[in-house]
């Protein structure tokens, strides 16, 4: 009987020991997963909505688990402070400008705090730091946006269906183009005409390019005008001279106008000699009579000279004069022949 009690006591002790070992192993395992026995620094972040994050949820940085959520506290109605435990060995790689946001472990997994970003030239986080929070889109907002997009997509699909039906029925320009063969042929002819016009335009452009190239050819007037400053200066001087000539011509014209005006005044003035001759009939008649008298006197003088030439007293004089004139004429002819 005594041996049976001892045996039972040993069995119970063994089971108790095994139970304690299992409990201790479980505590150590869970503590290792929750980083409960790892040295950590304490930082915090203030969210407007934590989306179901609870104490003990994991903290991830660049896909690596670096800590756990220590405490969640309301500060105001829309401000929630979340205290975070970050492993010291991982904190040296996390910088002060890192951003914290609420995420999920997988598509429908547990909520987590995800850290992202950070600059290498910014110091690492320290105990008591306040982390910045990234703007996070909640699932409700995503679903609302999706619903609105679905409504718009339904409207667009309906419009496309109506448009397709009208095109198939030959309504509108596109429908007529697809169903009316004559319209298609006309459009094809129009396109062919455009192609010809484009080809003509290309030839015209090439011709203009060739013409411009010939204008730039060395030795041409246009090239000299553009590149040779001497020719340009000469042309400028010629233009200036033409302006001076035009100015002088204007002065001459003005002088002629003044002279003509003065002459007209003298011709119309009865006191001037020319005006008397043009306007006074008696003076004109006297002038004509004087001219007739001169003609008569000249005729009589010619007769007297002819008579004098035949007078025996003067006949020798006129013969000597005629011989001298003939000799002078022959001498002039000989001198001309020698010069030739």
Query: Nearest to residue 109, comparing CAs of 61, 142, 60, 45?
Result: 60
CA distance 85 to 90: 11
Per-residue pLDDT of the chain (340 residues; tens, 9 = 90+): 556 666 776 677 777 787 777 877 665 565 555 555 568 899 999 998 888 888 989 999 988 899 999 999 998 888 899 999 999 888 888 998 999 988 887 655 688 888 988 888 999 999 989 999 887 666 667 778 888 888 888 888 877 877 777 767 767 666 666 666 776 677 778 888 888 888 888 888 888 887 777 766 776 666 666 666 676 677 778 888 888 877 777 787 788 887 777 767 665 666 666 565 566 666 667 777 777 777 777 777 777 666 666 666 666 666 777 778 888 888 888 777 777 6
Integer angstrom CA distances of residue 19 from 7, 22, 24, 25: 18, 5, 9, 10
Integer angstrom CA distances of residue 145 from 137, 139, 194, 316: 11, 10, 48, 148
Return the bridge partners of 124, or none.
95
249-299: pLDDT as tens digits: 778 778 888 777 776 766 566 666 656 556 666 666 777 777 777 777 777
> Which residues 6+ apart lie within 8 Å of 169 measured at CB?
175
Ramachandran angles phi, psi of 134, nearest 5°: -80, 150
Angle between helices 181-215 and 172-179 (to 10 degrees): 100
pLDDT of residue 44: 92
> Which residues 6+ apart lie within 8 Å of 132 measured at CB?
45, 97, 98, 99, 100
Query: Nearest to residue 107, comparing CAs of 72, 139, 76, 82?
Result: 139
pLDDT of residue 46: 92
Q: Cα-atom radius of gyration of the chain, to the nearest Å?
A: 65
| Spans of all domains in the chain | 34-136, 285-321
The pTM for the full model equals 0.37
Q: How many CA atoms lie within 13 A of 161 on its CB side?
A: 6
Answer whether 66's CB lies under 8 Å from 90's CB.
Answer: yes
219-250: pLDDT as tens digits: 666 666 666 667 667 777 888 888 887 777 77
Answer whether 88's CB lies under 8 Å from 62's CB.
Answer: no
């Amino acid at each position: 009987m005594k041996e049976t009690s001892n045996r039972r006591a040993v069995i119970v002790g063994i089971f108790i020991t095994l139970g304690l070992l299992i409990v201790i192993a479980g505590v150590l395992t869970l503590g290792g997963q929750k980083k409960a026995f790892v040295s950590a620094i304490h930082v915090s972040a203030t969210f407007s909505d934590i989306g179901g994050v609870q104490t003990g949820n994991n903290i991830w940085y660049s896909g690596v688990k670096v800590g756990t959520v220590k405490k969640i506290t309301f500060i105001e109605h829309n401000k929630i402070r979340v205290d975070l435990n970050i492993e010291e060995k991982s904190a040296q790689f996390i910088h002060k400008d890192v951003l914290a946001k609420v995420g999920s472990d997988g598509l429908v997994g547990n909520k987590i705090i995800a850290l992202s970003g950070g600059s290498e030239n910014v110091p690492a986080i320290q105990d008591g730091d306040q982390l910045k929070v990234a703007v996070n889109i909640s699932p409700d907002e995503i679903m609302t946006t999706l619903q609105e997009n679905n409504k718009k997509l339904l409207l667009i699909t309906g419009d496309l269906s109506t448009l397709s039906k009208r095109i198939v029925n030959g309504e509108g320009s596109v429908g007529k183009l697809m169903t009316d063969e004559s319209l298609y042929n006309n459009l094809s002819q129009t396109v062919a005409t455009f192609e010809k016009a484009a080809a003509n335009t290309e030839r015209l452009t090439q011709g203009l390019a060739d013409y411009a190239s010939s204008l730039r050819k060395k030795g041409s007037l246009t090239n000299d005008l553009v590149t040779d400053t001497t020719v340009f200066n000469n042309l400028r001087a010629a233009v200036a001279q033409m302006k001076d000539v035009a100015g002088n011509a204007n002065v001459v014209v003005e002088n002629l106008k003044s002279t003509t005006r003065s002459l007209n005044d003298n011709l119309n003035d009865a006191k001037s000699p020319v005006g008397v001759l043009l306007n006074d009939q008696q003076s004109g008649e006297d002038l004509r009579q004087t001219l007739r008298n001169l003609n008569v006197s000249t005729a009589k003088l010619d007769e007297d000279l002819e008579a004098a030439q035949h007078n025996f007293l003067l006949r020798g004089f006129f013969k000597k004069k005629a011989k001298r004139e003939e000799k002078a004429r022959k001498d002039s002819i000989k001198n001309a022949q020698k010069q030739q």
